[in-house]
Amino acid sequence: QVQLVESGGGLVQAGGSLRLSCAASGRTFSSYAMGWFRQAPGKEREFVAAISWSGSFTYYADSGKGRFTISRDNAKNTVYLQMNSLKTEDTAVYYCAADTLGTTVRAGGATYWGQGTHVTVSS
């Protein structure tokens, strides 16, 4: 069982930056691939970024390439999403996800999900 708790969301002006964190419980965090997803009002949840269990491989949706960076610290059981040059269209609830299979995470079928953190980007 893995519990995920996101933090770091908030209100930021367009062009600004935020760093989201996702703290995971359990001693097997390093065995899990991790991902970030987001859901904007009235829209379906979409993939943002993912990272392999070792951190060696990262994946990004086109919407975040060049602006977002996913990273993890296995010693702290935490995965991060650094978001720069934020746009109003980045406004959404951001969710952290975990699964032992990276392909499952990227497909949106992860076993474990956090409760989400709100990000609002104002113009």
Distances (CA, A) of 32 to 12, 38, 55, 110, 123: 31, 19, 10, 10, 36
Q: What is the 3-state secondary structure (H, E, C) of 65-94?
A: CCCEEEEEECCCCEEEEEECCCCHHHCEEE
Read off the pLDDT of each residue in 47-58 and give the average, rounded to a whole number.
97
pLDDT digits (tens, 9 = 90+) for 81-95: 999 999 999 999 999
Give the residues across from 33 on adjacent strands. 99
pLDDT confidence band for 27 (50 / 70 / 90):
confident
Provide the mean pLDDT of the chain.
Answer: 96
Beta strand pairing call for 68-73 and 117-122 = unpaired
What was the pLDDT predicted at 26? 78
Read off the pLDDT of each residue in 14-34 and give the average, rounded to a whole number.
94
What was the pLDDT predicted at 1? 84
